[in-house]
Structure 1
Amino acid sequence: MNKKILLVVIIILSSFAFSCDTTTSKQSSKKSDLVIAVIYKTLDEAWFQEESEAAKNKALAMGAKDVITIDAKMNPDVYLSALDNLITQKVDGILICVPDQKLSKITIDRCKKSNIAVIACDDPLTDDEGNYIAPFVGIDSNQIGRDMTSLMVDYLEKNNKLSDPNSSGLLLMSMDSVSSCIPRTEGQLETFKDRLPSFPRENIFQAEYNGQSEKSFYSAASTITSNKNIKNWFVMSANEAGTIGAIKALDQSGLAENAVAVGVGGYVAKDEFQKQNSPLIASAYISATEVGEIAAQELMENLLLNKNIPDKYLVKDKVITKDNYKNLVIK
């Protein structure tokens, strides 16, 4: 009788051990077959090209079998079609920068239903009240706006650029359709008003664009043409493409020589700094590589180690000028 009981116990333990080994084997196989995707709202801009490449390389180095890179071309239909294809392919995780934040909820709903991990890069995924509904890797938008504005005002005061405020204008290139950019513009405007309380409020202009230099050019050109009394323009933007577009519009209008501009990003600044008389005096350099690598690392650690993804990771900036930009590694 005791021998029979012992035999039953051995069989049960053997079955359990086999089951555990099979489960472990399946889990290990799954982790070695990880496929992730990166979807960016556009890959026309140098920033997103570098960030997507950095994310891909980091994920592959950490053991991903494949990384699928998709350009949404600033088109919601292209984006949603790509998202559905990735879900059909059963990818394990996605790094996302949406072309329109109104797509946030549908993105999260579809990914949750298919148990796909998601991290938002650069532009957060938000609900109707602006609350984050997915982990986010990006920058401290408001503080960068304030820092760059203070730098500009210091320059204007030091170089006697405020002697004729009535013929001077502040041009804020804004992206109110992207929630992460709104605090940047707010920080710029609040700091400018605080530092220069007597500056004519009627000479402060805000022009909307979609993040691309071409749209910025047309929006800035319209504002400049409509305000011919302004001869000295001070330009700030939500990203560097916005600043560059505005500079081109000023150049076309023959007003670039007296203009002063600052940017955010640092990826086109190096080209402007090489020009003899560019209005661009400084830019907040942010490493797209760092954003991409951190996002990919957090996603892979979640998939490989079940590590919780932080709700928010903010990358710090460095101010670059014509004097120091060559010391930074800018691709």
Structure 2
Amino acid sequence: MKRVSDMKRILAPTLLAGIVGSVLGVPPVWAAGDQLTIALIQKQGDQQYFVDEANGARDAAKELGNVKVNVVNVSMDSNAAISAMNVMVGQKVDGIAIVVPDQQIGPQVIDMAAQAKIPLVAVDDPIKSGAGEAAAFVGFDGFDMGSKVGEDAGKLFKASGWNIDDVRVIAAYEQQLSVCQDREAGEEAAFQKVVGALPKIIKVGTDNSTMDAQNRTGAVVTANPNVKHWVAWACNDENLIGVTTALANAGMPAENVIGVGLGAYLTCKDWQAGQKTGNKAALYISGRDVGDAAVRVLVASIRDHKPLPPKTIAHTTIVTPENWKSVMGSCS
């Protein structure tokens, strides 16, 4: 009986704190040694970038110790994303990182996490609450990314000696997605700054997948049979590969195409294989770095009570067929 009494004395303050915390809506206190569970809810989880992102999150969890990451792929289904949020809230996970399929569900996602007192970060695609307040964000600066792509495309164009009147630009991206809008705006602005002018731009709306970009670009090429040279940029590598594949299928020689990717995780495959390709360069972004950062900021918030930083921006750099291996290490 003495052991029971001693245990009661030990547990009483903890139980009381838990009851008071529950009544007041205060998050539970994390104790050293407790395992944390972080949910990573992703759109398009089968794309290589998001596969890398999930692996980066798991690696960070392993390094930090006593952290588990539950990865959920909701494809492009907003209802599935809300269902996943409900499940994770019901399981009382300690933190949530989410790549939303549609930014319009942002207010609902933020409200669900706030009501459950679970720290949340928006990954890759920023979201806002119903009051217009941005969630903590982990990812990239869209305009800056686009600027680097556009600048490199401009340099390659100037080196080509092509007549601007013989050139068309294909810009392939999901046109409703703000990060894609930012990237495309940066691409245009930087290209014009380097070249001093813009060729005619054909904006191709896609769902950010390779096949959709390829199909839609095929129709564009058919409608523009007299174009001699093409410049291509996009919101991601999937789009860029779709565009350059469609151009190649239409008989456009690789030397008549300047494609600059955004991601490099797919464009590097042509370079690794030594293929002649219209993919001349790409902005290397590491999904692994983003997944790593998302887990680290959440764990720091939970364990060390550090405020979630408003923005955590990952590094990017241009790679080419000549330097990609030294920068990327491998092409997954």
TM-score, normalised to structure 1, is 0.87
Q: Structure 1 residue 265: deviation in Å?
A: 0.8
Shift in alpha-carbon separation, 1:289–1:24, aligned structure 2, 3 A: farther
CA distance in 1, matches of 2:292, 2:316: 16
Structure 1: state its 5+ residue gaps.
1-14
CA contact (8 A) 1:31 1:304 kept: no
CA distance in 1, matches of 2:33, 2:211: 43
Describe the shift of the 1:227–1:37 C-alpha distance in structure 2 as closer, same or farther (beyond 3 A).
same
Contiguous gaps of at least 5 residues in structure 2: 1-7, 19-27
Matches of 2:128 and 2:178, distance apart in 1: 8
Matched residue, 2:5: none
- Larger gyration radius, structure 1 or structure 2: 1
1:285 equivalenced with 2:306 (yes/no): no
Q: In the alignment, does 2:70 pair up with 1:79?
A: no
Shift of 1:23: 6.7
Q: Matched residue of 1:191: which SS?
A: helix
Deviation track 1:15-55 (CA, whole Å, cap 9, x = no partner) reads: 99875466789845586032211011011111100111111
| 1:69 alignment counterpart | 71
* 2:238 alignment partner in structure 1: 241
Between the two proteins, the alignment pairs up a number of residues equal to 312
1:40–1:199 Cα change, 3 Å: closer
Partner Cα separation in structure 1 for residue 260 and residue 63 of structure 2: 36
Kept after mapping to 2: 8 A contact 1:247/1:256: no
Instruction: Quote the Cα distance in structure 2 between the aligned partners of 1:143 and 1:37.
Output: 29
Cα contact 2:237–2:262 (8 A) shared by 1: yes
The offset of 1:167, in angstroms, is 2.7
TM-score of the pair, normalised by structure 2: 0.86
Q: Which residue of 2 aligns with 1:3?
A: none
Given that 2:150 and 2:189 are in contact with CA atoms closer than 8 Å, whether structure 1 keeps it comes out as no
CA 1:38–1:186: 2 relative to 1, 3 Å: same
What are the residue-to-residue correspondences of 1:203-222 with 2, within 5 Å? 203-222=200-219
Indicate conservation of the 8 Å contact 2:42/2:72, yes or no: yes
Map of 1:158 onto structure 2: 159
RMSD: 2.4
Report sequence identity in percent.
25
Partner Cα separation in structure 2 for residue 266 and residue 323 of structure 1? 13
What are the superposed Cα offsets for residues 60-95 of structure 1, whole Å, 9 maximum, x if unpaired?
Answer: 432345321100111112212111111111111111
Closer, same or farther: CA 299–199 of 1 in aligned 2, 3 Å: closer
User: 1:11: which partner in 2?
Assistant: none
Q: CA deviation at 1:176?
A: 2.4
Alpha-carbon distance change, 91 to 128 in structure 1, aligned in 2, over 3 angstroms: closer
Q: How does 1:1-331 map to 2 (within 5 A)?
A: 19-20=12-13, 27-28=29-30, 32-127=34-129, 133-160=134-161, 162-163=162-163, 165-200=164-199, 203-257=200-254, 258-273=256-271, 274-327=273-326, 328-330=328-330, 331=332
- The Cα shift of 1:112 comes to 0.9
8 Å contact from structure 1 (residues 31, 303) kept in 2: no
CA distance in 2 between counterparts of 1:41 and 1:158 reads 38
**Amino acid paired to 1:236:** W
Give me the whole-angstrom Cα distance separating, in 1, the residues matched to 2:208 and 2:30: 42
Q: Which residue of 2 aligns with 1:10?
A: none
Structure 1 residues 30, 116: closer, same or farther in 2, change over 3 A? farther
Residues 81-125 of structure 1: per-residue CA shift (max 9 Å, x gap): 111111111111111001111111110111111111111111111
Q: Once the 2 structures are TM-superposed, how far is the Cα of residue 156 of structure 1 from its aligned partner?
A: 1.7
Q: Equivalents in 2 of 1:94, 1:294: separation in Å? A: 13
The verdict on how the C-alpha distance between 1:329 and 1:24 changes in structure 2, with shifts beyond 3 A counting, is farther
User: What residue identity is the alignment partner of 2:39?
Assistant: A
Alignment-mate amino acid for residue 261 of structure 1: G
